[in-house]
Structure 1
Amino acid sequence: MSIIVVPRDFPTIQAAVTAAQQGDLVFVKKGTYHESVNVFNRSIAIIGEKGATLEGNHSLPFGFRVGHTSENLASGIEIKGFTIQNYIQSGISIEFCDFAYCLENVIKNIKNDGIVINQSVFFTNGATHLFQKNKITNIGQNGINVTDPNINVMIQNEIKEVGKNGINININQSTIPSNPFNSIIQNKIQKAGQNGIVSAQQAFSGLILQNEIQHTGSDGISLNNGTMSIIENNVSKSKGNGIRINNPFNSLYRMNLSFWNAESGISIISPANVPTQGFNYIEENRTSNNGKDGIQVNQNNNFISRNKANENDDDGIDLDSNDNEVVENIACNNGNQDIENNGMGNSFFRNEDCDCDQDESSS
């Protein structure tokens, strides 16, 4: 392994990366570098000293581009510690790479996406990308835009003031044999023009854990289809729903906080208002002060237990579906009904609500 120092050994980052061999470390001293860096290597680390800045001058396309075609495949690339600013396409673009690690970068003032994972190839031997502790701010479109049909882990990133979505999952299902798995953990997302975390068209499979999402222009979390776990997220002050899931199955929604959203706190719905079979677990969530329902369920066959849905403008728990088990929930002081049952075959046991004197009933 060799350590290549910029600008001591090479005047530019690009020259150093081009010369680097497998296992080398490219260490970039503090300073401003006016360049876009193409990375076609295998197993190199590119580390910036504090104060190392890639400057796009509002004219260069990207800070780093990792891989370019299937013939120029990168692998095992680490990019860490840079300030990347003023580019017109992206701060970091992962295009053809099976393992990429983007850590502790500051990415700001980007016209399109902060980080984009834009691959159309499925790696049969597996691929994992890690994006951790990046600070992404003042982005024209998405903070992190994922079109990669592999495994992506996004953890402890701070995303603020983006024109579209904080984290956008946009994968073409026709390119892959099965759904990819995304882990979105402990990110902070504020002031997204559209959604905090979204998979608008494609099925989402993965884990969304302990994220804090505030002040979004639409939903805090908005996902489509798939099997997922959404656990311990804190979503507030969205102009849409706190958490909105369209047609999930065999999924877990547990211990989320969803307050002060313009629409419902948690909304589980089916396409075209026709309830499908959900078999989801909606447990121990707290929803209050939302503009519509605390919890809305328009899917059949779910287990809804130990939630608290208080002081929402419409219903606390609104059931527009059938054959749900509703157990030990607390719903009080909501604007319409505390528990609204518009379905058939729903079973209720030991719920507490302010609409009736008894706390136990059956359909």
Structure 2
Amino acid sequence: MTAARGRLCSVARATTIPWDKVTPAPLVLVTGPEGLLAERAVDRVVQQARAEDPEVEVTRLEAAGYEPGRLGVATSASLFGEPRVVVLGGLEAGTDAAFADLKAYAGAPEPDVVLVAVHGGGNRGRPTLDAVRAAGATEVACDPVKRDSDKTDFAVAELRRGGRRAEPAAVRALVEACGADLRELAAACQQLLADTTGVIGADVVTRYYGGRVEATGFRVADAAVAGRAGEAVALLRHAVATGTDPVPLVAALAVRLRVLAKVAAARGRGLTAGDLGMAPWQMDRARRELTAWRPETLAAAITAVAQADAEVKGAGRDPVFAVERAVLRIAAAAGN
């Protein structure tokens, strides 16, 4: 085996790393339900293996419908000792044979093979995954990206990988417009990288995604929390008219008020934005907004959203009216 091929299969360590740090190793375990990150982790391993040796052979197997012995065939020693990358995907739906073969292979991996095992989450095959970890696999955790602070970090990193940066307001607008789905957010970042130059400002994001930004529930919530009742209702009606369901609109109101409540409760305790699970700009904005709120009015606004949440989920006859009433109550409470 050449020196390059020896580096290709350097000794793995039992550790968990992000997708953009993974390198080829005898055993790579990609776990978690965030499919985009899992795909990127696999692609990164394959690309790096090919960069070390363009002749590397890549074999992809699906654990769903897997038949006994297929992994052994894919990883068996070749006549000329070419390095190989074998990707065993879909383990969350894998057959018993897939788990049995993977567990056996992890006990004695081939020196010229990089095995990437992908599990989308859940309890199926947990003993086998534990055995792969115990064998020294490098694990890539692809957990769901749900918090706004994590989505912000993802967008910033995505743009940085493209050699660009964006103003904080632009990142916020981008996350609000496209952050419901990580693939959509990634695609939006790639579009901005391809179609624009220089520092990305909020005006650029508005030009590309303005309709979605203005109609998003977070824009409705921003206006309501600021006490701008007319603007909030107008944005709400536009959102509904363009197909937005009342449920996520109420959820956006709840998120905004929850941020205010968390920052208010953290006063004087020395907690950082990270401690509260939010981005620094969110905490700064909440501190500014809280000057117009008292504990009593904030509690009343939260109660109004809780009532609207129950009504849009079946307790009321008119979900749109329920959301509009909550928006008006929030706006009325702001500054009182």
TM-score normalised by structure 2 residue count? 0.26
Greater relative contact order (CA < 8 Å, ≥ 6 in sequence): 2
| Largest Rg, 1 or 2 | 2
TM-score normalised by structure 1 residue count? 0.25
